[in-house]
Structure 1
Amino acid sequence: FSKLMNDKPLPQGEYKLFLEIEAVDDQNVKHQEVHTVGNVSNFLSNDVYATKMEFHSAKKLMKFNLIVNYDEGEKTINLSCNKLQEIDPSLLELDTGKEANRFLRKLNTSLFHFAYDVFRLLPIKSNKIVFASDSRLDMTGNFEFVYEELLKREENFDFKFFLKSSIRDRKSLSELMSMAYHFATSKIIFIDDFYPIIYPLKIRKNADLVQLWHAVGAFKTFGYSRIGLPGGPSPHSKNHRNYTKVIVSSENIRKHYAEGFGVDIENVIATGVPRTDFFFDEAKKAFVKERLYTEYPFLKDKKVILFAPTFRGNGQQSAHYPFEVLDFDRLYRELKDEYIFLFKIHPFVRNDANIPYQYSDFFYDFSSFREINELLLVTDVLITDYSSVCFEYALLNKPMIFFSYDVDDYIRKRDFYYDYFDFIPGPLAKTSDQMISIIKEEKYNFEQIDSFVHYFFDDLDGKASERVVDQIVFPEEEEPLDDKVLKR
């Protein structure tokens, strides 16, 4: 009922549920009958079932209460759907003087572009390297590994950092002027995610804008691969197109990133993904595991299930996850003796899991934990759906389940670079019951993991960061960047 009307919940109102049966006899005559559903009271604890339903979009947030009970008189089900909320999500943001702020942001952006063009007249500083992100406040992820590798080289680098926790965080005019100057005069600019302020800029001839994309591999279509699909970009968009270098994990996926970002395939380099070096550093892994067990001692008392799905919706403004698809009570009753269940929900998702307090010794919300790769070390079973976390987890050769209750709908609306059912290196579950059955019976599919890893990772040596620095910061200048060099 949460997706009954064009992906929206059942409209507010009172309903009765009947079964309509149609049949055609030997004389090709159609017969139609309507029946009640019969006594379903045994399925309703306390004679009633209640749940919340939600709908999220960029312009509308709706919440409903759905009440189900048995109609003794008519021998059928009563449904009562009551709207609790309908609001424009933008009104929830504490942003006064919206029109004035919009004008000010536009003015600041124009000044930023003008300043960048002026600063381009200055010489490039060959030792200056910028790290810029709108999705992290510290040097974690790919940034951490590339930065540490640069420090090992003991060169006289001039590092500049422009880090924000969210794309919604405002940049002051002084910050914008500083960014314009350093973007214009740096030899290399590293970014790790969508970074809209930089896309209208023309990158200087002897400088590089390098995308250290936060995800690994290629799975669901993204960027310009989604032109014409809901939430896809305009063919005339400037987003991503000015990357001079994009790093990826293997030769096999260069074409997908070239298409997704709208860049020439020669600009896509299969160095490996820096943050995956973590999985080949035994000392670092041991240190992280010990730190996690010290900080969260309950992680070592039982086996750990990590639930890490991607968001639903067309983008950041409408991102949500329909937690009603999970049977909290059944998961708790069936698995609590042997497992604990961690949530690591995508940072775009605005609605919460709302874990019932009586299950607080089983379900734990780790969504605010920054680096999922660290959690993977203490995970015994990963449950995901269409998230790229499956690539990194595969390096650990541990079981994973793909809880894709909406896979048919997702294929129609989002699409993938590969056939989903052949692609996933683990069993598919569409319901909580199927998920529980796979876990209890340990029906994991390990056969595909090895070939999966070798297709999406060219090198399993923990030296991706070295290759990024060698090929981007210290390229071999005596020979051109042909396809052979791009691969290694």
Structure 2
Amino acid sequence: MVYTYYFSFLPYNLIWKLAKLFRPKKQYLLHVEDCFDYFIFCNIRPHLAPLDIVVSSKAIIPKLKPMLDHSAKIYLYPFCFPDGVIMFRNAAWKYPVKSIIKIGLEHGAYNFKRFPKAYYYNLFNSYLMTSSHDVARLQALGAKPVKAIGYPKSDTLFNDSYPPELLSELRNTLKLDNHKATILFSSTWDGSGMSAVHKWYDKLQSLVPEYNILVTLHPRMSNFYRNHLANLPGIHYIDAMDIYPYLLISDVCIGDTNSLIAEFCIVNRPIITFSIDATKRTMDDVIELIKSVSIRIDTFSQLRSAITEALNTSTQTAPARTKVITKLISPLDGHAGFRAAQEIINLLPELKP
């Protein structure tokens, strides 16, 4: 239970009611915790009327403004009192007024970790999930306002956003060696207790003579790992928000329990995953799912043989990735952003363009 909800309930309700008296029309806001939230929203945005934004920190604003395709007023939380809010976080408690319409969406392509309690989902009027499998998992916990719409971020994979000439140009820009396989390393947030970045960050450079190496990290990864990997000679550290072009030029993708595993499956690349110790957030069925689509290793010393196996069996393992993606993201058809917008408009009809 988030006690902030109850501590702020009375003062926030009072100010919200006063603000509503002096506001000439209803106000709907997009709640942004980091710029990646808005990046996911970009495939929903064309199907909605413009709306203003609330950020959790002033530090986000300089990075966010260049991403906006319309003039938007930016508020700083908690100095905002909307009639409705859209967010990519399970944080409805930040708006402790029952009359505020709250719409949530999943932040990643799939939840490879234990879900928060159903109580937090039930604070929303609607929570949009990336798959019917996730919906069933949550409903079994007692969550009610959940519905599958797919993953809006993945829509760009279906609209010719990454033509061959763009990918060729990216390879040239990175100066990739055409005689080497390209290996993409990734990891979830080290603070989650479910990351394996510690197993490879200090050994990665040893692979440079044999492979093109790309690295992407969770946005909240600690600066220790981020700074180390970003400054390694011969390593291409990815700081671009759009990871798809890099997935598409990769031959093998490596992860742990990160939600990018689902996106590795979308682009159907061979996967290797590092095992992790069980924590309160790990789930046996999710670990088994990861094992079903990846070559599982425990240590860095096993990696070279795993890469060779992944490259040699790519065609044979492709059907397993295709099969599991229907569980991880559904529907997967390039129209998730439109479906999300329609669900939003159902609750906030003023946002119909």
Post-superposition shift, 1:291? 6.2
Q: Aligned match of 2:86 in 172, 181, 190?
A: 190
Larger helix share, 1 or 2: 2
- Distance in 1 (CA, whole Å) between partners of 2:284 and 2:22 is 43
**Residues 118-161 of structure 1: CA distance to partner in whole angstroms, max 9, x if unpaired?**
234568946x5421111128831x211110232xxxxxx35112
Partner of 2:128: 247
Q: Does 1:428 align with 2:321?
A: no
Question: Structure 2 vs 1, CA of residues 468 and 371 (structure 1 numbering), >3 Å: closer, same or farther?
Answer: same
Contact kept? 2:273, 2:297, Cα under 8 Å = yes
Matches within 5 A, 1:38-53: none
Post-superposition shift, 1:320? 7.7
Question: Structure 2 vs 1, CA of residues 180 and 162 (structure 1 numbering), >3 Å: closer, same or farther?
Answer: closer
- Distance in 2 (CA, whole Å) between partners of 1:269 and 1:136 is 24
Question: Structure 2 vs 1, CA of residues 179 and 137 (structure 1 numbering), >3 Å: closer, same or farther?
Answer: farther
Q: Which amino acid aligns with 1:193?
A: R
SS in 1 for 2:135: helix
Contact kept? 1:327, 1:432, Cα under 8 Å = no
Larger Rg: 1
SS in 2 for 1:446: helix
Q: Aligned match of 1:132 in 27, 31, 34?
A: 31
- Distance in 1 (CA, whole Å) between partners of 2:125 and 2:335 is 22
Contact kept? 1:199, 1:240, Cα under 8 Å = no
Partner of 1:480: none
- Distance in 1 (CA, whole Å) between partners of 2:321 and 2:36 is 34
* Structure 1: stretches of 5+ with no match in the other structure: 1-106, 151-156, 226-237, 478-488
- Distance in 1 (CA, whole Å) between partners of 2:253 and 2:182 is 9
Partner of 1:360: 233
- Give % identity: 19
Q: Does 1:313 align with 2:181?
A: no
SS in 1 for 2:187: coil
Q: Which amino acid aligns with 2:110?
A: G
- Distance in 2 (CA, whole Å) between partners of 1:219 and 1:436 is 26
Partner of 1:347: 219
Question: Structure 2 vs 1, CA of residues 426 and 129 (structure 1 numbering), >3 Å: closer, same or farther?
Answer: same
- Distance in 2 (CA, whole Å) between partners of 1:415 and 1:374 is 30
- Distance in 2 (CA, whole Å) between partners of 1:292 and 1:279 is 16
SS in 2 for 1:352: helix
Question: Structure 2 vs 1, CA of residues 285 and 415 (structure 1 numbering), >3 Å: closer, same or farther?
Answer: same
Matches within 5 A, 1:458-477: 458-474=330-346
Matches within 5 A, 1:187-336: 188-195=84-91, 198-204=93-99, 208-224=101-117, 241-258=122-139, 264-265=143-144, 267-284=145-162, 286=164, 289=167, 292-293=170-171, 295-298=173-176, 302-314=180-192, 323=198, 325-326=199-200, 328-329=202-203, 332-333=205-206, 335-336=207-208
- Distance in 1 (CA, whole Å) between partners of 2:104 and 2:150 is 13
Partner of 1:148: 46
Partner of 2:259: 388
Partner of 1:483: none
Of the structure 1 ranges 392-401 and 213-222, higher mean CA displacement relative to structure 2 is found in 213-222
Post-superposition shift, 1:311? 2.4
Contact kept? 1:279, 1:285, Cα under 8 Å = no
Post-superposition shift, 1:434? 1.5
Post-superposition shift, 1:214? 1.3
Question: Structure 2 vs 1, CA of residues 195 and 277 (structure 1 numbering), >3 Å: closer, same or farther?
Answer: same
RMSD value, Cα: 3.9
- Distance in 1 (CA, whole Å) between partners of 2:11 and 2:221 is 33
**Residues 385-428 of structure 1: CA distance to partner in whole angstroms, max 9, x if unpaired?**
11111112211111111112x2xx22x53221625235431110
Q: Does 1:400 align with 2:271?
A: yes
Post-superposition shift, 1:455? 2.0
Q: Does 1:375 align with 2:243?
A: no
Question: Structure 2 vs 1, CA of residues 472 and 301 (structure 1 numbering), >3 Å: closer, same or farther?
Answer: farther
* Structure 2: stretches of 5+ with no match in the other structure: 1-6, 62-73
- Distance in 2 (CA, whole Å) between partners of 1:166 and 1:426 is 40
Larger strand share, 1 or 2: 1
- Distance in 2 (CA, whole Å) between partners of 1:447 and 1:377 is 18
Question: Structure 2 vs 1, CA of residues 299 and 454 (structure 1 numbering), >3 Å: closer, same or farther?
Answer: farther
Q: Name which structure has the greater RCO, CA cutoff 8 Å, separation 6+.
A: 2
SS in 2 for 1:418: helix
- Distance in 2 (CA, whole Å) between partners of 1:284 and 1:342 is 18
Matches within 5 A, 1:160-199: 160-164=52-56, 175-176=75-76, 179-181=79-81, 183-184=82-83, 188-195=84-91, 198-199=93-94
Contact kept? 2:121, 2:127, Cα under 8 Å = no
Q: Does 1:159 align with 2:57?
A: no
Post-superposition shift, 1:314? 4.7
SS in 2 for 1:223: coil
